[in-house]
């Protein structure tokens, strides 16, 4: 496949390494321009391009993997001319304390993170790869059928795009578990029990089903509070996000 990745940090680079190793052709972009991506090119085998070029050349799949706060900085016409059937993956997570600042719609729970991203991009997205550490994404894929194989939740309002992305998740060495619509994707957001937990498929399916589909106020408050605590712990350890 021809895959465009916008964002060349932890997740973008991890995906690029794995995808080129599976013989996909990968175009990768950051905010500062292709000339600043020589190291990434060497490490991943992906071709550095601009964000617009990544969207044009990713004729089979586009991945947007930049900090949530930077989504509004992407060019307005990023997807101009990109056929509707090309899936767009969103990997974002909301880190209000360490990186993104407070976003009202996410604080109130009116929108999930990826609904917010979808509104800003003006294009249906598929949410995946947000709840696994970049290093695990790069190194912990295993063949189908391996006991304890990590499962990844995949959510989207576009059923066809979701199916394509679930097939890619399997190819990358993870069990793909359907997490419903983007509105239901709160179940894979930070602060929820499956976030960063590397659950196998049976446990993840059971866990997602146990949460229901419509987020209650109590669940929203609980998961925001869990995540706030995680962010405070990260801050205390001196961890900084860009
Ligand atoms: N790190 C993880 O383990 C992990 C796991 C799951 C999900 N996530 C989520 O995935 C997203 C990406 O995380 P990350 O850790 O990979 O981020 P990161 O390491 O900080 O890298 C961010 C990348 O985005 C690029 N970027 C920023 N603004 C851009 C713009 N306007 N146009 C093009 N590129 C832009 C940056 O380019 P420059 O350096 O040139 O600015 C950089 O290459 C975040 O929402 C994060 O919460 C992260």
CA distance 12 to 220: 29
Ligand 1 pocket (Cβ < 6 Å) reads 6-12, 29-32, 51, 65-68, 70, 73-74, 91-93, 130, 133-134, 242
Query: What are 127-176's pLDDT values in tens digits?
Result: 999 999 999 999 999 999 999 999 999 999 999 999 999 999 999 999 99
Say how many Å lie between the CA of residue 66 and the centre of ligand 1: 3
Phi, psi of 154, rounded to the nearest 5 degrees: -130, 125
Say how many Å lie between the CA of residue 22 and the centre of ligand 1: 23
Which domains does the chain carry? 67-236 (3.40.50.720)
With cut-offs at 50, 70 and 90, classify the pLDDT of residue 36.
Answer: very high
Q: Which residues contact 48 (CB under 8 A, 6 or more apart)?
A: 8, 27, 28, 29, 34, 35, 37, 38, 40, 41
Mean pLDDT of the chain: 97
CA distance 24 to 41: 14
The residue nearest atom 30 of ligand 1, judged by CA position, is: 31
With cut-offs at 50, 70 and 90, classify the pLDDT of residue 51.
Answer: very high
Q: Is the model's pTM score more than 0.95?
A: yes
CA distance 185 to 16: 24
Task: For residue 33, give the ligand 1 atom closest to its CA.
Answer: 40
The arithmetic mean of pLDDT across residues 60-70, rounded, is 98
* Nearest residue to 70 (alpha-carbon basis) of 41, 26, 101, 46: 101
The residue nearest atom 47 of ligand 1, judged by CA position, is: 93
CB burial of 190-217 (b: ≥16 within 10 Å; e: otherwise) equals bbbbbbeebbebeebbebbeebeeebee
Q: What pLDDT does 242 receive?
A: 85
Say how many Å lie between the CA of residue 146 and the centre of ligand 1: 30
Say how many Å lie between the CA of residue 161 and the centre of ligand 1: 22
The share of the chain scoring above pLDDT 90, in percent, equals: 99
Query: What are 189-202's pLDDT values in tens digits?
Result: 999 999 999 999 99
The residue nearest atom 43 of ligand 1, judged by CA position, is: 8
Say how many Å lie between the CA of residue 235 and the centre of ligand 1: 18
Say how many Å lie between the CA of residue 160 and the centre of ligand 1: 26
Report the residue among 32, 35, 65, 189 best suited for mutation to probe ligand 1: largest number of ligand atoms under 8 A from its CB. Answer: 65
């Amino acid at each position: 496949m021809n895959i465009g990745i916008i964002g060349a940090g932890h997740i973008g680079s991890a995906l690029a390494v794995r995808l080129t190793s599976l013989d996909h052709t990968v175009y990768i972009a950051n905010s500062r321009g292709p000339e600043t991506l020589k190291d990434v090119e060497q490490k991943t085998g992906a071709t550095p391009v601009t964000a617009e070029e990544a969207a044009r050349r990713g004729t089979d799949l586009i991945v947007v993997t930049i900090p949530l706060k930077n989504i509004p900085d992407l060019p307005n016409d990023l997807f101009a001319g990109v056929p509707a059937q090309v899936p767009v993956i969103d990997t974002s997570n909301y880190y209000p304390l360490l990186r993104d600042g407070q976003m009202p719609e996410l604080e109130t729970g009116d929108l999930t993170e990826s609904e917010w991203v979808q509104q800003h991009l003006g294009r249906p997205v598929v949410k995946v790869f947000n709840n696994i550490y970049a290093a695990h994404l790069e190194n912990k894929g295993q063949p189908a059928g391996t006991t304890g194989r990590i499962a990844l939740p995949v959510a989207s309002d576009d059923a066809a795009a979701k199916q394509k992305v679930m097939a890619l998740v399997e190819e990358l060495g993870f069990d793909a578990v359907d997490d419903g619509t983007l509105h239901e994707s709160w179940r894979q957001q930070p602060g929820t029990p499956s976030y960063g937990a590397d659950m196998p498929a049976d446990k993840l399916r059971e866990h997602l089903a146990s949460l229901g589909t419509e987020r209650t106020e109590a669940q929203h408050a609980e998961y925001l509070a869990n995540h706030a605590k995680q962010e405070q712990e990260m801050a205390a350890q001196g961890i900084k996000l860009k």
